[in-house]
């Protein structure tokens, strides 16, 4: 370590600076990976959180059915080795038999799956019930085979459960009063070493996991640092080796730093404007289109987001399932057309007045993007009243269908099926208040079409319809930018999470 140098510079600070900075107590040859985290860490119970990071952490420790490999664009098993669709409502999964539990116990069995299913549904701490919202039941076939029965044919079943259904041991739950704290053993490639609420989660490599790489970190620590400036400083200091989610304006601080490389990936969180047709003037399709035509996405991406976003023309981008290339109907930036459409809709003398709500600090530059959108819409004649309510107020009003226009993102938009239904299918939620029998029919049909290519054709039809009707106007998905210390190899994936056994140190 650089003890002396720090001691010299820090002379004025006396004893405080004598020791090296953050010297871990772990042995020198241990490969320790410190990673920043912005997600809450509120409970060691694997069913008590529902966010991408915690699903990923529990998936790697306890184990889940499998994960989506963004590079290969396919689902890959972890605890299951294969699966098949038996009939339109029945999926059969086969568990692996070569796994050993972290404490030396037996590998996962159907009993564990059923136990976990019960916990998701009935554990008082669970907030994950929604992953089984379309599932009728899970039944055992034999010790290593089980079947998931859906209420209706559901093509996108895997997107609900595959990497979110965390399997914990029935046996350990039986033997321990607090299994999540006292017997946190699973079957994944990493085991839980420690959990400090809202501070850090430490994982250790499970060397018994079949085929685990020797280059993968021996210990990985997810440390919560919410402020972006602090994440960058921590990376430059060597306090962490991977600083995740660096906003565009801070990227330049890392560029040109020889000890740090930047890892980038597209994301699966589309950012969109919603125009609620239950409110004037959004009842009129032409006004919605006019608003969309007024927005110069390229300019915003280029000049404000520093190029770190992928423009979207419809609900799907390249990273998402069922993306079939650019749509035929695209609303481009065209202020003249926007003015003409407004005139056609009866607003030739200026107006209409609209209320526009946005979040602040929830998504990358959300408030600032909304300010730009406000000015762009103003330029074609809208009178925009932009407001930034507290987030709790914003979401409450959004869910209650009380917002005429808003700018938000939708995370976990890997498979379009569920998000589109949530926002746009009649009365599924009140979020947008859009209703179209034609779109409803397409979305229902899409869900029940188990043939992948066939399904994606229907999704495309729905996407075209949405692009033209513009109840939602898709803007872009932000690039996920991470700073990575030299000597660490990691391919960032579109969910921003780190699959530790893929990291090379």
Partner 1 sequence: MKFDFLNLKFIIGAFLLGFVLFLALFGNLITPFTANKQSLMDSLLPPLSGGHILGTDHLGRDILARMISGARVSLAIAASVVVISGVVGVIVGALSGYLRGTWDLVTQKIVESFWAFPPILLAIAILAFFGQSLTNVILALTIQRWIPYSRMSRAQAMVLRSLAYVESSRVMGGGLAWVMRRHILPNLMASAIIVGTFSMATAILAEASLSFLGLGVPPQIATWGGMLAEGRSYITRAWWLAVMPGVGIFITVLSLNLLGDWLRDQYDPKKTLNLI
Partner 2 sequence: MLHLITTRLLGAIPVLLLVTMAIFGLLRLAPGDAAELLLPDDATEEQIAETREAWGLDRPIWAQYGQFIGNLARFDLGESYRYRAPVFELIGERLPATLELSFYALVMAIVIAVPLGMIAALNKGKIIDAIVSVISISGVSAPSFWVGILLVLFFSGYLNLFPSSGRLPYGVSVPSVTGFVTFDALIAGSFDTFLQALKYLALPALTLTLAMIGIISRITRAAVIDAGQEEHVFTAVAKGMKRGTIVRRHLMPNAAIPIVTIIGLELGALISGSIIVEVVFSWPGIGTLLFQAISVRDMPLTTGAVASYTILFIALNLLIDIFYVLIDPRLRGHKA
Where does residue 24 rank: exposed (0-12), middle (13-18), buried (19+ CB within 10 A)?
Answer: exposed
Cα–Cα distance measured from residue 132 to residue 491, given in angstroms and rounded to the nearest whole number: 31
Q: Please choose which of partner 1, partner 2, none residue 200 contacts, taking the beta carbon within 5 to 8 angstroms, the exact cut-off set by kind.
A: partner 2
Q: Please choose which of partner 1, partner 2, none residue 249 contacts, taking the beta carbon within 5 to 8 angstroms, the exact cut-off set by kind.
A: partner 1
Distances in Å between the Cα of 171 and the Cα atoms of 102, 105, 113, 194 are 13, 9, 12, 22
Cα–Cα distance measured from residue 475 to residue 313, given in angstroms and rounded to the nearest whole number: 7
Q: Please choose which of partner 2, partner 1, none residue 368 contacts, taking the beta carbon within 5 to 8 angstroms, the exact cut-off set by kind.
A: partner 1
- Report residue 79 as tokens: 């605890």
42 makes contact with partner 1 (CB under 8 A): no
Q: What is the largest CA-CA distance in the chain?
A: 76
Residue 407, classed as helix, strand or coil, is strand
Q: Cβ distance 221 to 458 under 8 Å?
A: no
Applying CB under 8 A, the site for partner 2 has a residue count of 65
What are the backbone dihedrals phi and psi of residue 313, each rounded to the nearest 5 degrees, phi first? -110, -15
The one segment of 4-12, 216-224, 298-306, 462-470 that binds partner 1 by CB under 8 A: 298-306
372 makes contact with partner 1 (CB under 8 A): yes
Within 8 A by CB and 6+ apart from 144, the residues are 94, 95, 97, 109, 110
Q: Please choose which of partner 1, partner 2, none residue 25 contacts, taking the beta carbon within 5 to 8 angstroms, the exact cut-off set by kind.
A: partner 2
391 makes contact with partner 2 (CB under 8 A): yes
Min dist. Cβ of residue 336 to partner 2 (A): 37
178 makes contact with partner 2 (CB under 8 A): no
The one segment of 148-156, 309-317, 396-404, 480-488 that binds partner 2 by CB under 8 A: 396-404
Q: Cβ distance 436 to 311 under 8 Å?
A: no
CA 14 to chain centre: 46
Min dist. Cβ of residue 155 to partner 1 (A): 39
212 makes contact with partner 2 (CB under 8 A): no
228 makes contact with partner 1 (CB under 8 A): yes
Q: Cβ distance 439 to 424 under 8 Å?
A: yes
For partner 1, the binding residues (CB under 8 A) are: 228-229, 247, 249-250, 252-253, 299-300, 303-304, 360-361, 367-368, 370-372, 374-375, 386-393
For partner 2, the binding residues (CB under 8 A) are: 6, 9-10, 13, 15-19, 21-26, 32, 34, 40, 42-43, 45, 48, 50-51, 124-125, 127-130, 133, 196-200, 202, 221, 223-227, 229-230, 233-234, 236-237, 239, 390-393, 395-397, 399, 410-412, 418-419, 422, 429
């Amino acid at each position: 370590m650089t003890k002396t140098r720090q001691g010299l510079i820090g002379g004025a600070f006396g004893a405080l600076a004598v020791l090296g900075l953050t010297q871990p107590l772990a042995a020198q040859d241990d490969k320790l990976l410190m990673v920043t985290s912005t997600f809450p860490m509120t409970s060691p119970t694997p069913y008590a959180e529902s966010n991408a990071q915690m699903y990923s952490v529990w998936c790697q420790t306890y184990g889940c059915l499998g994960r989506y490999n963004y590079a290969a664009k396919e689902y890959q098993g972890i605890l299951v080795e294969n699966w098949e669709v038996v009939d339109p409502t029945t999926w059969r999964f086969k568990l692996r038999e070569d796994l050993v539990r972290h404490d030396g116990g037996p590998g996962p069995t159907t009993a564990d799956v059923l136990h976990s299913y019960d916990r998701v549904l009935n554990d008082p701490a669970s907030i994950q019930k929604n992953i089984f919202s379309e599932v009728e039941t899970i039944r055992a076939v034999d010790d290593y085979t089980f079947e998931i029965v859906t209420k209706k044919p559901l093509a996108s079943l895997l997107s609900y459960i595959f990497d979110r259904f965390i399997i914990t041991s029935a046996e350990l739950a039986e033997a321990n009063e607090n299994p999540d704290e006292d017997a946190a053993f699973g079957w994944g490639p990493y085991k839980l070493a420690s959990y400090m609420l809202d501070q850090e989660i430490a994982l250790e490599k499970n060397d018994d996991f079949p085929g685990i790489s020797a280059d993968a970190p021996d210990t990985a620590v997810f440390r919560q640092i919410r402020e972006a400036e602090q994440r960058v400083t921590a990376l430059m200091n060597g306090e962490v080796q991977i600083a995740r989610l660096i906003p565009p304006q801070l990227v330049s601080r890392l560029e040109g730093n020889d000890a740090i490389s930047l890892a980038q990936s597209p994301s699966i969180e589309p950012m969109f404007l919603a125009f609620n047709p239950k409110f004037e003037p959004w009842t009129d399709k032409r006004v919605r289109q006019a608003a969309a035509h007024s927005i110069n996405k390229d300019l915003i991406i280029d000049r404000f987001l520093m190029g770190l976003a992928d423009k979207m023309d419809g609900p799907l981008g390249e990273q998402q399932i069922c993306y079939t290339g650019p749509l035929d109907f695209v609303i481009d930036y065209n202020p003249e057309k926007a003015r003409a459409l407004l005139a056609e809709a009866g607003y030739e003398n200026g107006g209409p007045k609209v209320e526009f709500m946005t979040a602040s600090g929830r998504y990358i530059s959300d408030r600032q993007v909304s300010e730009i959108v406000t000015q762009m819409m103003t330029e074609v004649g809208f009178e925009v009243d932009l407001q930034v309510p507290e987030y709790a107020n914003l979401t409450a009003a959004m869910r209650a269908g009380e917002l005429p226009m808003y700018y938000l993102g939708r995370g976990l938009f890997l498979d379009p099926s569920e998000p589109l239904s949530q926002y746009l299918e009649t009365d599924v939620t009140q979020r947008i208040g859009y209703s179209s029998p034609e779109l409803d029919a397409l979305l229902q049909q899409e869900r029940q079409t188990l043939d992948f290519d066939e399904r994606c054709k229907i999704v495309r039809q729905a996407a075209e319809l949405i692009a033209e009707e513009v109840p939602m106007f898709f803007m872009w998905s932000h690039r996920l930018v991470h700073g990575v210390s030299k000597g660490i190899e990691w391919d960032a994936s579109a969910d921003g999470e780190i699959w530790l056994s893929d990291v090379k140190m």
